[in-house]
Structure 1
Amino acid sequence: MGSVLNRRIVFSLMFLIIMMVYGHKADSKCVFEAIFSFGDSNSDTGGFWAAFPAQTGPWGMTYFKKPVGRASDGRLIIDFVAESLGMPFLSPYLQSIGSDFRHGANFATLASTVLLPNTSLFVSGISPFSLAIQLNQMKHFKVIVDESHSSHQPGLKTLPSKGVFGKSLYKFYIGQNDFTSNLATIGVDGVKQYLPQVIGQIAGTIKEIYGIDGRTFLVLNLAPVGCYPAIITGYTHTISDLDKFGCLIPINKAVKYYNALLKKTLSVTRTELKNATIIYLDTHKILLDLIQHPKSFGMKHGIKACCGHGGRPYNFDQKLYCGNTKVIGNSSATAKACRDPQSYVSWDGIHVTEAANHRISMAILDGSISYPPFTLNSLCPSYL
């Protein structure tokens, strides 16, 4: 009799715990109703290829099983963040067919910069959709939403609620192209001269979005691009410029300068905007750990690219990018993808793999790289 009673008590306790955990998830509601994303290829969910259709090859092979407009083998950080908040993947603002903007929009496009691309600072190959253009798209989007709700126009089924802009998460992951596009021509010292202008533009954009009700901002810092195969092979250097992990010392020193200035500027901006939450995310830290110690994270290759041509040590050729085929010498060569991208940090020598993006996203969600402390998991139920 006692054993039966004990089993009933244990069963009742287990049932109560299950109901508390899953019942809380079912009843709880994320404080954010939408996400609005600004950035470059690190956040682009299809905007660039919607504007310039061309993507083919092994892109998306891990998760989507086909190219879906992402510069990776699978999901990006913005995808993981959206998933964790119980939202669908963000539709690109530039994608006219099949988009659903009820939970926000993604203005990020591949090759975008913070500063305007038509200045003398930038070389060719830069996207026309700079941060200023993305901000204008955001403002126009808000006007359309407000007008649609005021006049009950068609299209409301794919648009967010009118008051969504004060209940949204605004994510910035941009600046890498401003930093890398001129390294080969004006060097590190030349690039450092205009980095304060880049950061000032990001802060100014946050202030403008604050003016149209934005209150919560996540700003990702610059990755250790001195460890990226595309930069290592494209930047003239000597063996003394490389650290013990094979990364370019002068490049990564400049990255640290940029990140320190970004963190300081955001702290100042935080004091200027009342009731705003402005979070600096040190994604550089976790990504550098992944690159330097991949085996500690269950991976094998920190610097070597999964998709590329050339073999060791970088598997990257400036003349033959991932997925492309060209005649080199007297034979045809194709930059193919590896069979195990989950073992690599670098996807194509320029962008990281889904596996790396997932590690970074987990650090964002648990607040371990946030300044000031900010845990998304405490504000929204995690669906990952």
Structure 2
Amino acid sequence: MVSVQNRRIVFSFLLLIIVVFSSYKADSECDFKAIYNFGDSNSDTGGFWAAFPAQSGPWGMTYFKKPVGRASDGRLIIDFLAESLGMPFLSPYLQSIGSDFRQGANFATLASTVLLPNTSLFVTGVSPFSLAIQLNQMKHFKVKADELNRAGGLHILPPSNVFGKSLYTFYIGQNDFTSNLASTGVDRVKQYLPQVIGQIAGTIKEIHGIGGRTFLVLNLAPVGCYPAILTGYTHNVSDLDQFGCLISVNKAVKYYNALLKKTLSETRTELKNTTIIYLDTHKVLLDLFQHPKSYGMKHGTKACCGYGGRPYNFDQKLFCGNTKVIGNSTVTAKACRDPHNYVSWDGIHATEAANHRISMAILDGSISDPPFTLNNLCRS
């Protein structure tokens, strides 16, 4: 029979284990303390609309129930990643009111490019906030945060030791690919894609130089399946594959992604003690476009929000949410009532449902090269 003294010893030992385990779990909840994102409209959480306020409905209708500066009906991939790491949605760097940068900042803006937009490679309609500008914003942000922390700090800024414990994400390059696609053709676009990839690798190196150690780079989506490209790029029926996507365009995308993967591998070798992950989000999104019903959806290459009906519900003259006189009628590009059944939100961007599918693949590590499972590092 166990004595009272022994029972007390056992109880105290168990209590100690519980306390230690609880303390360990709290301290190890997430290896990353912040996220810093660079990108275009696919990951812009309000930067462009903070700079140029104008957004109206039906943007944000699914999750936020109102426009919140996102090019979707709901959450973006970066939103899902932040949630999975137990962090709030990233505040746009350009948003002066209501921002909280303690756990990161978002430098992405709608229509941003990797290469500078004032070169002859680009037509008008792209953002002035190219990747080089976003990098400068990041550097300035870090310098000012360090200065203010030494002076006593602000409650909305991260501590100086956060930058080396942060996740740096890149979802950019789509506008470099598509901005001149219709006017110059696939072959001309392919010529400057190595410059685009070189700039992304160079940006990673610069951030590494100021303390960044973990990088996630999302590859290019199968834009040959986008309603906007299918209606804006001159083609014949023979140019389409069995799923209705443009063969030549998606071949060029595969070329870009293969080169991006190779370049990131070389950069990984060059930068010691650094984690650089290539995320094959293209694989998930392509499967969604090709087999939407396998994911409980109904429509692949048809936009939820648009004008024009079958087969794409997209008109280059009338974008989602806008009203215009076409012919003798005043028409509006309206949203569908069931965006969860669509891969494409507005012909250019993904729905929240599609973004959620891609995010799950990122979290479980199934599209990471080399293998990298966020679920093992942070609570979901």
TM bracket (short chain) = over 0.9
Q: Is 1:178 paired with 2:143?
A: no
SS across alignment from 2:315: coil
Give the Å deviation of 1:237. Answer: 0.6
**CA 1:342–1:209 in structure 2 vs 1: closer, same or farther (change >3 Å)?**
same
Pick the aligned partner of 1:279 from 259, 277, 280: 277
Task: Please give the residue correspondences for 1:212-361 in structure 2 after superposition, counting only pairs within 5 Å.
Answer: 212-361=210-359
The share of aligned pairs that are identical, in percent, is 84
What residue is the counterpart of 2:71 in the other structure?
71
What residue is the counterpart of 1:7 in the other structure?
none
What residue is the counterpart of 1:81 in the other structure?
81
**TM-score, reference length from structure 2:** 0.93
SS across alignment from 1:86: coil
What residue is the counterpart of 1:91 in the other structure?
91
Counterpart AA for 1:308: G
**CA 1:330–1:24 in structure 2 vs 1: closer, same or farther (change >3 Å)?**
farther
Give the Å deviation of 1:28. Answer: 3.7
SS across alignment from 2:145: helix
What residue is the counterpart of 2:16 in the other structure?
none
Deviation string, structure 1 residues 198-239 (Cα, Å, up to 9, x no partner): 000000000000000000000000000000000010001111
Q: Is 1:34 paired with 2:34?
A: yes
SS across alignment from 2:253: helix
* Structure 1 unpaired stretches of 5+: 1-18
- 1:169·1:217 contact (CA, 8 Å) conserved in 2? yes
What residue is the counterpart of 1:59 in the other structure?
59
What residue is the counterpart of 1:148 in the other structure?
148
Deviation string, structure 1 residues 122-181 (Cα, Å, up to 9, x no partner): 00000000000000000000001110111225xx20001111110000000000000000
What residue is the counterpart of 1:362 in the other structure?
360
Distance in 2 separating the partners of 1:151 and 1:306 = 50
SS across alignment from 1:158: coil
What residue is the counterpart of 1:104 in the other structure?
104
SS across alignment from 1:36: strand
**CA 1:233–1:143 in structure 2 vs 1: closer, same or farther (change >3 Å)?**
same
Corresponding residue pairs, total: 362
Distance in 2 separating the partners of 1:210 and 1:372 = 19
- 1:25·1:381 contact (CA, 8 Å) conserved in 2? no
**TM-score, reference length from structure 1:** 0.92
Deviation string, structure 1 residues 29-71 (Cα, Å, up to 9, x no partner): 2000000000000000000000000001200000000000000
Distance in 1 separating the partners of 2:213 and 2:350 = 30
Counterpart AA for 2:156: T
**CA 1:259–1:96 in structure 2 vs 1: closer, same or farther (change >3 Å)?**
same
Give the Å deviation of 1:333. Answer: 0.5
Give the Å deviation of 1:281. Answer: 0.1
SS across alignment from 2:125: coil
Distance in 2 separating the partners of 1:24 and 1:207 = 33
Give the Å deviation of 1:184. Answer: 1.1
Distance in 1 separating the partners of 2:63 and 2:22 = 27
Aligned-pair RMSD on alpha carbons? 1.5
- 1:28·1:381 contact (CA, 8 Å) conserved in 2? no
Distance in 2 separating the partners of 1:370 and 1:244 = 28
Give the Å deviation of 1:185. Answer: 1.2
